[in-house]
Amino acid sequence: MLSVMWAPGGSAIDQPSTESALRREGGDAVMNVGRVRRILLIGLLTGFVAACDRSQDQAGQNFQPPEPTIQMPPSIAASHTFRCKDNSLVYVDFFSDRVTASLRTEKSGPPIRLVAPAKGEPFTGEGYVLVGSDTSITLSKPGTASQACKA
């Protein structure tokens, strides 16, 4: 293949192109350049295809369902010992959510969980009903009448 160059005087000079010069010097050089181009092209195409496939696979692998929100239990806002009219003692823990209380009829006895449907309403659970706050309560035990208790 010939390429045209312009000489300083304005006349055209035919010169062989680089490709034809390489062919004359040795066909191996042209063949190697073509082979290198093909290999690079195949490598690039393979890389693009692999990247597309990998991104789809990784998208599925990297998906993590949202973690459920963990709600901590309420802390104890106040603990009181109350003496009731029948001269018995009860131990009450009022929790910070203001709808949960823990009642014990003995100092080291098992706690009875009492829950109010809303703030300010009576706490109930396992047959017990507790109404009141930090200084005085009214307590109904299962099978007995309600009685007033003071801190």
pLDDT in tens, 61-88: 666 778 888 888 899 999 999 999 999 9
Which pLDDT band, with edges at 50, 70 and 90, does 2 fall under? very low
Q: Is residue 80 domain-shared with residue 137, that is, in the same domain?
A: yes
**pLDDT(15) > 70:** no
Q: What is the mean pLDDT of the chain?
A: 79
pLDDT at 17 over 80: no
Q: Is the pLDDT of residue 33 over 50?
A: yes
Predicted confidence band at 53 (pLDDT cuts at 50, 70, 90)?
low
Would 80 be classed as within a structural domain? yes
**pTM passes above 0.75:** no
> Within this chain, do residues 57 and 87 fall inside the same structural domain, yes or no?
no
Final residue in a domain of this structure, among 11, 38, 61:
61
Domain end: 11, 31, 61, which one? 61
What are the pLDDT digits (tens) for 90-113?
999 999 999 999 999 999 999 999
Q: How far is CA 76 from CA 23, 37, 80, 130, in A?
A: 92, 75, 11, 17
Top-confidence residue, 1 or 47: 47
Average pLDDT over residues 36-48: 78
Same-domain check for residues 88 and 52: no
Number of Cβ within 10 Å of residue 33's Cβ equals 13
How many domains are contained in the chain?
Answer: 2
Closest CA to 116 of 132, 134, 136, 105: 132
Residue 103's domain comprises 76-150
136 within domain boundaries:
yes
Q: Is residue 70 part of a domain?
A: no
Query: Is the separation of the CB atoms in 51 and 44 below 8 Å?
Result: no
Q: Are 141 and 128 contacting, i.e. CB atoms less than 8 angstroms apart?
A: yes
Question: What are the backbone angles phi and psi of residue 9, rounded to the nearest 5°?
Answer: -80, -5
Residues 34, 99: one domain? no
